[in-house]
Homo-oligomer: A and B are copies of this chain.
Amino acid sequence: MYSGGVSTSERLIESTRALLWERGYVGTSPKAILERAGAGQGSMYHHFKGKPDLALAAIRRTAEEMVATTTAVLDGPGTPYERIEAYLLREREVLRGCPVGRLTMDPEVVADDALRAPVDETLDRLRARLAEVVEEGKEQGELAPGLDSAEIAATVVATVQGGYVLARASGSPAAFDAGVRGLLALLAPRHR
C-alpha cells in the first residue's frame, strides 16, 4: 500500500487508521494491519506496545484531523448560521461514515477509557465550539433567542452522526442530505 521513504511506524499508523475507519477496532487484526502496512511481524511490537497502543496513536491522529477540519469551518468566514450551515454541508465521504464517531459502536473502544478518551474529547470539543457559534447567532438575532446553545450543538452533531447511519443503511448519501436540510430549515426559518 505504501511506497518507500515512509517510516514503518508511520505506515503502521496510517494502515491502522484506514482499517479502524473501515472495519472498527474489533474487526481489525494485527495481521491485517501488518499486511496493509507491508510490515514484518515484529515491527508492531518494535514501535508500539501492541494493538491497543498502535490504535491509540491512530485514533489520536484521526481525532486531531477532525478537530482541525471542523475548526477551520466553524472559525471561518460567514455569519453564525452560515458557519453552522458550512459545517453541515461540508463535503464528506458520507458513505464511509465518520472515522471518529464510528468507533463508538465498537465495544472494545467504549470499554477502554484510554481508547475512548480521544473520541469523547473530539466530539466534546466540536459540541463546545458549535455551542459558542449558536450563542453568537442568538446574540446577533440570527437564531431564536430561546434556544439552549448546548442542546442545539448536540442536535447538530447528532444529525451529522445519524445522517451517516441513514446513508449507509440506504447505500446513498441522499438520506444524509435530507436530514441536514431538515435541520437547517428548523434552525433558521427566515433563511428558508
Rounded to whole angstroms, the CA-CA distance of A179 and B153 in the bound complex is 7
- Selecting from A37-45, A46-54, A67-75, A103-111, the interface stretch reads A103-111
Q: Once bound together, how far apart are the Cα atoms of A181 and B147, in whole Å?
A: 10
Whether A114 sits at the interface, judged by CB under 8 Å, is no
Contact string, A127-147, partner B, CB cutoff 8 A, digits 1/0? Answer: 100000000000000001011
> Which residue of B has the minimal Cβ distance to A23?
B107
A-B contact pairs, 25 of them (CB 8 A): A22-B107, A24-B24, A24-B26, A24-B105, A24-B106, A27-B106, A97-B104, A102-B105, A116-B169, A123-B166, A124-B170, A148-B181, A152-B182, A155-B182, A156-B182, A157-B166, A158-B160, A158-B161, A158-B162, A158-B166, A159-B159, A160-B162, A161-B165, A162-B162, A183-B186
Asked whether A76 is an interface residue with its Cβ less than 8 Å from the other chain, the reply is: no
Give the most central of A144, A146, A175: most B CB within 10 Å: A175
A179 contacts B154, C-beta separation under 8 Å? yes
Contacts of A153 in B (CB 8 A): 182
Report the minimum CB–CB distance from A187 to chain B (whole Å): 6
A176→B162 CA distance, assembly (Å): 12
